[in-house]
Amino acid sequence: KAGVTQTPRYLIKTRGQQVTLSCSPISGHRSVSWYQQTPGQGLQFLFEYFSETQRNKGNFPGRFSGRQFSNSRSEMNVSTLELGDSALYLCASSFWSGRSAGELFFGEGSRLTVL
């Protein structure tokens, strides 16, 4: 079974630009979560999607948005980039049993550098 795939792996943007990151979950996984990872801050929750619905959102400004498609693939978008947005963005998928949380399978991440 293929793992979680994230594209692009690396990208460099300048302040004010926008960026779109893509995530393809493991086949059969309908839940996709996004996290921002920065040194010393751990993994900060951005949002979680299930069957094209955002079920929860973290404490990030409205510049951060996401969506999920009918095939469970997900995208996140960051508009008006700031220097502080430089980070590793991790996507994780899980098989939601409908009862409780389960294991997250992470992608390798998209490393964003904002200049």
Partner 1 sequence: GENVEQHPSTLSVQEGDSAVIKCTYSDSASNYFPWYKQELGKRPQLIIDIRSNVGEKKDQRIAVTLNKTAKHFSLHITETQPEDSAVYFCAATGSNDYKLSFGAGTTVTVRA
> By the criterion CB under 8 A, which residues form the site for partner 1?
31, 33, 35, 40-45, 48, 50, 55-56, 58, 90, 100-101, 103-104, 106-109
Least gap, CB of 31 to partner 1 (angstroms): 8
Between 49 and 85, CB nearer to partner 1: 49
How far is the C-alpha of 88 from the C-alpha of 92, rounded, in Å? 13
How far is the C-alpha of 112 from the C-alpha of 15, rounded, in Å? 12
Between 46 and 81, CB nearer to partner 1: 46
* Kind of pairing between the strands at 10-13 and 110-114: parallel
Least gap, CB of 8 to partner 1 (angstroms): 16
| Token code pair at residue 79 | 């508009």
Q: How far is CA 35 from CA 9, 22, 72, 99, in A?
A: 15, 13, 17, 22
Between 50 and 81, CB nearer to partner 1: 50
Least gap, CB of 22 to partner 1 (angstroms): 16
How far is the C-alpha of 72 from the C-alpha of 23, rounded, in Å? 9
Between 3 and 16, CB nearer to partner 1: 3
Least gap, CB of 18 to partner 1 (angstroms): 25
